[in-house]
A and B are shown apart, each in its own frame.
Chain A
Amino acid sequence: MIPENKWTRITTAESVPLREGRAVRLGGVEIAIFNLGDRVLAIENRCPHQGGPLCDGIVSGTTVVCPLHGWRFDLESGAAVRSSLPACVTVFPARVEDGIISVNIAGGSRIEMEDAA
């Protein structure tokens, strides 16, 4: 379990429309928060390819497609999907409680690159 004090309250759940993402800057990191209807997921808002804003991508199931060149990332693991090169973004624990979206910025994790391919 993540200690309570590690969660940062971000915004109301309504601020992120269904199947869209929104960016928020937390400390030195920009995070993209996605609303998948039954839950919210948060990833680093920067495509490892050329820095595209992933929050602006089209959501397809539990993946998001970068608006610049179409790289696709799994929102749960952060791994690039169907990419020719192994790549990933950091994922952050996110939750909705009492209508407020919180993110655990310290709990960010990246998968091992071997798995990403």
Chain B
Amino acid sequence: MQRLVVVGNGMAGMACVEQILKHAPKFEITIFGNETHTNYNRILLSAVLAGEKSLDDVTLHPIDWYREKGIALRLGVGIVDVDACAKTVTGDDGSVTGFDKLLLATGSSPVIPQIAGVNNDGVFTFRNMEDARALLERSRPGIKAVVIGGGLLGLEAARGLQVQGCDVTVVHLMDTLMERQLDTAGGTYLIRKMERLGMRVLLHRRTRTILGEGRVEGVEFDDGDRIPADLVVIAAGIRPNAELGRRAGLTVNRGIVVNDYMETSHPDVFAVGECVEHRHVCYGLVAPLFEQGKVLAATITGNRGPVYEGTVEAAKLKIMGVDVFSAGDFREASPDDGIEAEAVRYEDSALEIYKKVVLAGGKLRGVILVGDTSDSHRYMDWLRNGVDVTRKRRRLLFPEPVEDAGFDVAQMSDSETICGCLGVSKGDIIQAIHTRGVNTMAQLKESTRASTGCGSCTNLCEQLLRAVAPEFQEETKTTLCACFPFSYEQLREILLSQKLKSVQEVLNVYGNRKGCEVCKPALSYMLDMVWCGEHEEDRSARFINDRVHANIQRDGTFSVVPRIRGGVTSPDELRRIADVAEKYSVRMVKITGSQRIDLLGVKKSDLPKIWADLGMPSGQAYTKGVRMVKTCVGTEFCRFGVQDSVGAGIELERRLENLYTPHKVKMGAVGCPRNCAEATVKDIGLVGQEGSWQVVVGGAAGKNVRKADLLITVETTEAAIEAAELFFQYYRENANYLERTYDFVERMGIEKVRKETVYATQPERLKLLDRLQRSKALAKDAWLERETPVHPTQFIQIEPMENVFA
């Protein structure tokens, strides 16, 4: 068997090896990798830094894969020399390995500008897993980070560092961010988005020195300006690692020169990926690797035939909420080749969408998309296949009206790439659907890894599944409102991973910047829940009831319901309530269905005074929060009571009061199965029986009537309350906003609810309870705002400074 030695264990080398394995004859393969990790998805390192993926998530080939394929893997060994005559490679460990065929897949290295101080501690590049790990370790809130380079990688690194809490400045040499991919207008939109995310962008700045003695303290520019920095990331471009090619005596310009068959100037030495130069182009993106790999695999296995004719370069910025796509040549008139190009533009400055396509000779030459990249695959197709678009001129910038949902994918050929990150074609996906029974997106990801990279092909994958899979199952996706294109689950993930803490921040970056009466309260709730109360509260995003902690009535007055835990009050409390009702001429005093007392017809400006006079906490009757625990008399007086429902109810109410929930939560506790306080039609109910409690959830007696499901039966009151707490927090974290427990329990299924609450492992249960405790620790009686209003005019009607008719 012939010996194949591969130098480089990265995406290019491994994509090629995967292809080689599909061909006969077989090689005896040895792979050298100078990193200590098996092959991973380098383009996801930005997502790792941005907290969207963990380091473990990015592995492409686990160690077992190499073993199964019979590949000898040498990790942590760099190859320092190649002898093309003797056909050997020499490792930095002194080893000499012979080969029949050699594949160089050495990739590229970051360009480090020749400036003083680049060796200081705190100066990093952002290229490999070690870099990502080091940056994750060093970045934290309060750290000032400067990223030198405003290209794709620099911007992704900058956003990642910012998500880690750093105060980030991007310094760019040119006048336009990503100037290789964007024109001035596109760059301006991009800057706006980056700045709105909270990063500073300095253009047209050449860094002269990295300041600091041994440790970074700042950077100094050509004009003498300085900015402080604790951490500097250099992302000033990459350079092909062509040194081994030179040592082997191959023809090398910028990169190792290869022809259309991916052959170098030596018959037994091959090269692939970022280290090669093909038709005078060195690529720095992922898509060409796969195309080159396929051709090279054919050539190296003696099946020479397929040719590589270059790749249309396309770039997509992988920052969540900042959609930027660019492909081809976007210059409008290029004197080099004398072709007069025509530009077609679309721009909406309010929605921050900018699209430009450049045409030459009736064909697409280049495209820029900012703010809306949903059409990128269409343009890629036109570019790759040189489609004549003359007849599409009037609708170049908008999708063709498609009534046939499968039309988009039906237009693609089987060999067309759907997932550019992982190199998965339409044919691959169809094959997976047919041979591996793929029916859902989750299965598709599992089976082909398609859409697990940047995710921009998710729509296409879904369309393909819908068109092909015999039992396609739509993944339920409920968007909040038209202000966001995301589902609840996605929004929760975004808030967490992007560390967003205020409603306006979320709207500015991921929404339409305006928001509406639907999403603003929902986001307010989610932020409070996700950050356990450590969010930035914005009252303008709250419904009026949550601005003034009272329920607005049809005449614009408010109602006041003090908390009466378990429905148990006292003569003194009742007297105070009576006094308040008289003093403020309350129009109606009403006993509610929740064993509480409602004072109706109160003016907004009287609210703080009434709360003070009552001296009782808020009953949260106006909000999506913890209402009450209705109780029966229980064991203390009732002849039939077998459990202390009053004690349990009051304790449960104390543990959960002042917390907010996706919708109101009404609870009940009864001391025997006669169920006098109707606990089985409450969101959470404790039903006492001889020697134990039944904890029931998801009951309703409102618009819907539903008997609650049994969550668990426990012996002690403490265990019953803990089960209620587990369910309560689980509901807080997983329900959609405005979803009552009865809908939630039905949607999830009670078995799943049990499995993930009372039957969850001890650590999982503790985590739920811990998050509940953290929220509870910061939860306050809202009526205390009578003494410390969030705004001086929170409760008052403004008096004009001058009388209009004076």
* B556, A52: Cβ atoms closer than 8 Å: yes
Contacts of B547 in A (CB 8 A): 20, 56
In angstroms, Cα B798 to Cα A10, docked, is: 8
Cβ of B704 under 8 Å from chain A: no
Specify the chain B residue showing the minimal Cβ separation from A11: B798
* B797, A24: Cβ atoms closer than 8 Å: yes
- Contact of A53 with B556 at beta-carbon distance under 8 Å, contacts A19-B540, A58-B520, A59-B540 already known: yes
- B785, chain A: closest CB distance, angstroms: 14
Specify the chain B residue showing the minimal Cβ separation from A10: B800
B residues bordering A, Cβ < 8 Å?
513-517, 520-521, 539-544, 547, 552, 554-556, 791-793, 797-802, 804-805
Cβ of A93 under 8 Å from chain B: no
Cβ of A15 under 8 Å from chain B: yes
Contacts of B540 in A (CB 8 A): 17-20, 58-59
Sample (19) of A-B pairs whose CB atoms are under 8 Å apart: A8-B800, A15-B792, A15-B793, A16-B798, A18-B540, A20-B539, A20-B791, A24-B798, A24-B800, A56-B544, A58-B517, A58-B521, A60-B514, A60-B515, A60-B516, A61-B514, A68-B554, A100-B801, A105-B804
A-B contact count (CB 8 A): 84
- Contact of A68 with B799 at beta-carbon distance under 8 Å, contacts A20-B539, A58-B517 already known: no
- Contact of A25 with B517 at beta-carbon distance under 8 Å, contacts A8-B802, A68-B552 already known: no
* A23, B539: Cβ atoms closer than 8 Å: no
Specify the chain A residue showing the minimal Cβ separation from B801: A9
Contacts of A25 in B (CB 8 A): 797, 800
A residues bordering B, Cβ < 8 Å?
8-11, 14-20, 22-27, 33, 50-53, 56-61, 65, 67-68, 70, 100, 105
Specify the chain A residue showing the minimal Cβ separation from B481: A60
Specify the chain B residue showing the minimal Cβ separation from A9: B801
* B516, A65: Cβ atoms closer than 8 Å: yes
Nearest first, the 8 A-B pairs at minimum CB distance are A61-B514, A19-B540, A56-B544, A65-B517, A53-B556, A58-B517, A60-B516, A24-B798
- Contact of A50 with B554 at beta-carbon distance under 8 Å, contacts A11-B800, A25-B797, A56-B544 already known: yes
Contacts of B514 in A (CB 8 A): 60-61
- Contact of A22 with B798 at beta-carbon distance under 8 Å, contacts A16-B793, A65-B517 already known: yes
- B559, chain A: closest CB distance, angstroms: 14
* A9, B802: Cβ atoms closer than 8 Å: yes
In angstroms, Cα B542 to Cα A61, docked, is: 15
Main secondary structure of the interface of B (DSSP, over half): loop
* B516, A22: Cβ atoms closer than 8 Å: no
Contacts of B797 in A (CB 8 A): 22-25
In angstroms, Cα B542 to Cα A55, docked, is: 13
In angstroms, Cα B727 to Cα A99, docked, is: 50
In angstroms, Cα B515 to Cα A65, docked, is: 11
* A27, B556: Cβ atoms closer than 8 Å: no
Specify the chain B residue showing the minimal Cβ separation from A52: B556
4 further A-B contacts with Cβ under 8 Å, apart from A24-B800, A58-B543, are A11-B798, A25-B797, A59-B540, A65-B516
* A11, B801: Cβ atoms closer than 8 Å: yes
* B520, A15: Cβ atoms closer than 8 Å: no
Contacts of A105 in B (CB 8 A): 804
Contacts of B791 in A (CB 8 A): 17, 20
Contacts of A18 in B (CB 8 A): 540
In angstroms, Cα B793 to Cα A20, docked, is: 11
- Contact of A51 with B556 at beta-carbon distance under 8 Å, contacts A17-B791, A57-B544, A67-B543 already known: yes
* B543, B792, B799: the one within 8 Å of A24 (CB): B799
Specify the chain A residue showing the minimal Cβ separation from B798: A24
* A11, A50, A70: the one within 8 Å of B517 (CB): A70
In angstroms, Cα B802 to Cα A51, docked, is: 26
Specify the chain A residue showing the minimal Cβ separation from B790: A17
- B569, chain A: closest CB distance, angstroms: 31
